[in-house]
Amino acid sequence: MNSDEIIHRRNSILFILISVFYFIQVIINIIVEGLASVFPPVYLFIGLGMILTLLIYSKVQPKFTMVVMVSCIYIYFYFLIRDCPCLVNFLFMWLGLPFSAIYQYSIIVILAGIYSIMLTYYGFFHLHYEIFPNVQSVDFVYIVLFGIFTTTFLLIFINKIRKANAKLQKLAYYDSLTGAANRLLLKEKFELQKEIKVHSLAILFIDMNGFKKVNDTYGHDVGDQLLEITVTRLNGVLRGTDLLCRLGGDEFVILLSNLDKQVLENITSRIQSELEKPIILNEQTITVSGSIGWSYTNDVSHADLDQMIKEADQAMYKVKHSNLAFSFS
């Protein structure tokens, strides 16, 4: 799932939370202040809600919608505090900060913190007797410090959450030894390429020749180092849009898109040359090679990952039992 899809999902979640919060707040206001206290803010909420619903439904620039979402929260709170100035509504306003943290974007939390302090200033100095009748003016500093502390705490929390998510994502999507993608990431990237409607897809299947002999002769530690170096070299040949995946052992798959067969053959030749370069490990010169098969299609909408891997695998075995440099299916 890419970042825009994640933000879009969080936009939807936050909109639902805001709606639930609003109805709870309306009920509390009716109990405390009476039915008249929810008007006219209710009209504003309906208007903002319609705008946000349209943006979320149409998926127009999720990041823009994110900023609009947080801004609309505080626009609503401004009119709520202005039209119904009471301590309950002022306290509700501070919920905008934890709401904004849902996105796990530092800039959005900082924006929410600035909005919160601006509304605090407005409420404290323009509606002081309605909201803070028994609070001295000097205490404004402490409320601002509370806002700064809360914003800072959320920023630290988000930073830790993002680091933890990055570690989990690495464990979920990447091979722990080589750092190459695993089958799960390969599948997601393949489906994403179909969604964005690339004009062609190709799968390269690589099986390293002589790897077992290296393991048997020099040990598994050297074999592991050989795999790591191989992945580094292969990534140096590939384009930024290509994805290298380790299926297991000494088998690798590469997903490529938006290329013709001539470009694919050129990339395959460069990969073959890179694999055949000698590698020095523990003062030993090790030479391996690779058998490469590939599957190619222009019919992207009907492409199936497992079928393409199977076809590329079959083409690779043709190479292994012949003198071909590579083969395709």
**What count of residues does the chain have?**
329
Helix, strand or coil, per DSSP, at residue 280 = strand
183-328: what fold? Alpha-Beta Plaits (3.30.70)
Helix, strand or coil, per DSSP, at residue 102 = helix
Token pair for 310: 């199977």
pTM above 0.75, yes or no: no
Q: What residues in the chain have per-residue pLDDT under 70?
A: 1-2, 41, 323-329
Rounded to 5 degrees, φ, ψ at 124 are -70, -40
Radius of gyration of the chain (CA): 29
Helix, strand or coil, per DSSP, at residue 210 = coil
Indicate the residue type of 24. Answer: I
Exposure string over 56-71, b if 16+ CB within 10 A, otherwise e: beeeeebeebbebbbe
Contact 147, 117 (CB under 8 A): yes
CA geometry: angle 120, 146, 25, nearest 5 deg: 55
According to DSSP, the β-strands at 201-209 and 251-257 are: antiparallel
Q: What pLDDT, on a 0 to 100 scale, did the predictor assign at position 55? A: 92
Residue span(s) of the chain under CATH 3.30.70.270 come to 183-328
Contact 69, 14 (CB under 8 A): yes
SS3 content of the chain, % helix, strand, coil (to 5): 70, 15, 20
Sort residue 210 into left (φ over 0), alpha (ψ -120 to 50) or beta.
left
